[in-house]
Structures are given as C-alpha cells and as structure tokens.
Amino acid sequence: MSHTELIASLVPSGDILIGGEWRRGRGAPYTSIYPADQSANLEISTANADDARDAVEAADAAWRDANWSGLKPHQRALVLYRIADLIMQRHEALAQLQRRDNGKPIGETRVLVASAANTFRYFAACLETLDEDVTPSRGDYLTMSVHEPIGVVAAITPWNSPIASDAQKLAPALAAGNAVVLKPAEVTPLASLALARICEEAGVPKGVLSVLPGKGSVIGDALVRHPLVRKVSFTGGTTVGRSIARLAAEKLMPVSLELGGKSPTIVFDDADLDHSVNGVLYGIFSSSGEACIAGSRLFVQRSIYDTFMKRLAEGARKLRVGNPESDNTQMGPLISSQHRETVERYVALGLEEGGRLVCGGERPVGDNREQGFFYQPTILEGLTNSARICQEEIFGPVLVAMPFDDEASLIEQANDSVFGLAAGIWTRDYKRAYRTARALDAGTIWINTYKLFSISTPFSGWKESGMGREKGRLGIREYMRQKSLYWGLNDAPLPWAN
C-alpha cells in the first residue's frame, strides 16, 4: 500500500472534527510532510479560532446532554475497551502513519501505538474499579465524597509522540465523563485524526470529542481562553506551558502541565560498564533526543571518565541513523528543518562556550539522508553545568558529558537546573543509588535503567517541568471534581432552631 493509500484508509477526508461532523477547517491549509525525505503526506485545512469556539460549544452541549457523562462507569469503560481493541486491530497501519507523521523509526512507533491501546485499557479498568468514599461520620449524619466530570477539557499535545500523548489525555479525560477538544501539534495532525475516527467507531457520542489541527498560538490560545473550557491538559514546552498557566490563573481553572526537561544521567565508578554505556546512549539518542525525558546531561565519576567516554563515543559512532521504515534503524530524522537548525545553533553555542566535540556535530551524508532532517548523535565535553547548553532544553541528539568528584558536588550540579523531570543513576551500590535518588529534584528516577514507562506508575514533572500528574490510578482524578454529600440522619430539628 502506498503512503497516500495508507493515510486515506485511516484519516477521514474532512480535516477537522467538530460536534461529530468532519468538515473543512477555516484556517490556512497545511501540508504535512514526512521528515525523512520531505515528501508530502497530506494537505489539510486547519482550524481557526471560530472553529475552536464551535468545538467548545458543541463539547459543552454534548457533555450536558449526559449520554456520555451520565453513563455508568462500566458502560463508559466498555467504549474505552473498544477503542483499545480498534487501535490494536490497526496496530501496524497506525504505526506506519505515526512514522510518516513525525519520522520516528517504525520500531518505536509500534511501541507507541501499543502503549496508546494499553492506556485506554488501563483507564477503563480504573474507571470500573475506582471507589467513592463514605467518610467517618462525626454525628448523626452520613458523609460521602464523590467525583464528577469537570465538563469541557482542552487537551493540547506536542509532536514528538502524538498517538501516545493523545491517549494519555483522552483516556482518563473521557473515562471521567468529560467532553474533550483535542489540539494536536501543527506539524503532526495525522495520528490524532485517525484516533478520533477510532473513538467515533467505538461509540464515543457525537460532540464528546472534537479534534482541531492547526496553529497553537491561534487555536490553543482560543481554547485556553474560552469560558466554557474548564480544564486544560497540556504537554509541550515550558514557555507555552507558563503562558497557559497565566491564562488559567485568570479563569481560576485547573491545569495539568507536562513540560520540558534537562535530565541528568549519573554514572558512578562501580557501574556495569556495558549496561551503563548502552543506557546512556539509549537515554539521549533514542527518538533522536526529541524526548522530554532525554538524559541530556551526563555526569561520570572522574576515576572512570576517560574509559567510559571512549566506550560511549565508540557506541555513538556506531548508531544506525537513517530510514525510519527499517526495523534496524535506531535514529530517524528530526521533526523539521527549523528544529534541526535550532539543534545546530545549540551545538555551535556549546563550542563557543568552550566545549569540545567528542563525536557528531554534523548532518550525516549518503543513503538519501540529505533529503531529510537527519543529524548525527553528538557528544560534547569540556563544559561546566552552568553552560547554556547544559541549562536550556535542546530537544535533539546532543549530550554534554562532565566528570564529577564526589556525591555532594554531583547532587549540587545535577539539581542546578530550572527543570526537574527525570534522572538516571548507574551504580551497583544500592545504598548509594537510594541516597542519590532521594536527593535528586526530579519526578522520575531510573536506577540501572532509563526511559522505562508504565501506565500504572504516576508521571509528573517537578520545578519548571510541570504541574499535576499523568498515569497511575489517580491520573483519572485530574479530570474530576470532588463533591461532598452530607445526609442528615436525625429526625430532631437542628439545635440552632431550638
């Protein structure tokens, strides 16, 4: 099947979904391209601010209509299980679509699609098994605490793992009984549109889910400001996240923010060399470094620094950078030409700041890679943690390596960052691992592993890496409001009345 046939088989011919209707957006046309060779995927008409308003109004009506919010939990759960089943029935096709959408290697997109299905199953199960509380009574009354949907939720997602990040918002938000307006990143609309079609087929009622591809500064902004939107769940950069938090403060509206990172990976002198070298390479270079949790600052104990760096550079040079269609590929292209230029500017800045290139620092040549936005895995050293390329998120395949002498100075440097998303520790000494893990300012710590994810384990960024949480049983509560009920059980009048 050609890529145009593949896209046509998964993405409806209307370009945006509002109130159960596929229609043309009223924004500018946008051509989605394949970052590996710049061939066109599909031209779509994007949404504009009027479309955003219509979608929110349709979502509000659908939510009040109660044919979703009013279903019993097990009835909504059934629809979520069906969504998961349909995702898995189209697993390979969706993985190929996601590859075309953002250029990730097929091995990675297969994992992302399966993880999206798991996310729907997990929140269906949470929904069916979540208890409400009867709280201890302090008199002749009964008290209950129940949870209800919030109403219209705006879900705004980035381009690096569209189907998985969409599912992480849609599954708990829909499970909780909300209506959702999804705004995917401008450059990756395809997976979100295909997922919306699956949701429709699975029985999500009209209007409960709308999808608006297009510009964040137009549609995202219109959604956040709309008075009927009562919650925003955002994944993206810290700058946009902060501006959303400001607008939300005006409306006193809850927000969940999953933002950027600059995560440290720490290798102690007793670490298993093979595993830690592999783990560090995987932590920064998988997904071409376009991962919020990428381990982009490397701290290696000085006594093993030279040996470790030699092995690391050898490993980085051997990474297979190329065609995302191949099962063998480890790194695909970057998302766009502009993003690659940003990465290149950061590498140049690192060199100006006094850094030395250990490997990479250029575009690969041959095998048609000139057609796409490829960049070599790049390692710099000779910098301190205060360098700008150690402090600012690059979101590309660039690692800065630094030696450290003792635990105290290591913790100080590792925590010297505005971000606090994740960290990795490589050591055989479990006491040292525990001490270090507890001392690090980050929401997720991997010990002798990296980038492992489980839907049942909460994920949240500390400091400027975010607010709120995703995943885990309580992830669904982020999309609910709590209500307390008091039931009087005494036939006598209230004492005040006497």
Residues at the interface with ligand NAD (CB under 6 A): 156-160, 183-186, 216-217, 220-221, 224, 235-237, 240, 243-244, 258-261, 292, 393, 395, 421, 461, 466
Specify the residue, 158 or 322, whose C-beta has the smaller distance to ligand NAD. 158
Instruction: From the candidates 292, 390, 464, 478, give the one annotated as an active-site residue.
Output: 292
Mark 2-12 as b/e (b = at least 16 C-beta within 10 Å).
Answer: ebeebbeebbe
Specify the residue, 86 or 292, whose C-beta has the smaller distance to ligand NAD. 292
CA-to-CA distance for 84 and 121, rounded, in angstroms?
A: 6
Closest CB 64 distance from ligand NAD, rounded Å: 25
CA-to-CA distance for 68 and 305, rounded, in angstroms?
A: 58
Specify the residue, 27 or 205, whose C-beta has the smaller distance to ligand NAD. 27
CA-to-CA distance for 455 and 464, rounded, in angstroms?
A: 23
| Residue that the structure tokens 């690090």 belong to | 440
- Give the residue from 163, 151, 69, 184 showing the smallest Cα distance to 120: 163
Closest CB 264 distance from ligand NAD, rounded Å: 15
CA-to-CA distance for 110 and 104, rounded, in angstroms?
A: 10
Closest CB 145 distance from ligand NAD, rounded Å: 29
End-to-end alpha-carbon separation of the chain, Å? 81
Closest CB 339 distance from ligand NAD, rounded Å: 8
Instruction: From the candidates 200, 258, 381, 393, give the one annotated as an active-site residue.
Output: 258
CA-to-CA distance for 192 and 98, rounded, in angstroms?
A: 10
Closest CB 241 distance from ligand NAD, rounded Å: 7
CA-to-CA distance for 189 and 166, rounded, in angstroms?
A: 11
CB 151 within 8 A of CB 178: yes
| Residue 134 tokens, joined | 């009867």
Strand 40-45, strand 29-33: pairing: antiparallel
φ, ψ of residue 247 in degrees (nearest 5): -65, -40
Specify the residue, 169 or 197, whose C-beta has the smaller distance to ligand NAD. 169
Closest CB 342 distance from ligand NAD, rounded Å: 10
Specify the residue, 189 or 315, whose C-beta has the smaller distance to ligand NAD. 189
| Overall size of the chain counted in residues | 498
Strands (DSSP E) contained in 198-270 are 209-211, 229-235, 255-258, 263-267
CA-to-CA distance for 344 and 348, rounded, in angstroms?
A: 6
**Angle between the N-to-C axes of helices 91-102 and 162-175, in degrees from 0 to 180, rounded to the nearest 10:** 120
Instruction: Answer yes or no: 21 catalytic.
Output: no
Closest CB 24 distance from ligand NAD, rounded Å: 20
Specify the residue, 240 or 313, whose C-beta has the smaller distance to ligand NAD. 240
Specify the residue, 226 or 369, whose C-beta has the smaller distance to ligand NAD. 226
Specify the residue, 287 or 301, whose C-beta has the smaller distance to ligand NAD. 287
Instruction: Answer yes or no: 292 catalytic.
Output: yes
Give residues with Cβ within 8 angstroms of 127, minimum separation 6.
73, 74, 76, 77, 80, 175, 176, 476
Closest CB 220 distance from ligand NAD, rounded Å: 2
Active site residues: 258, 292
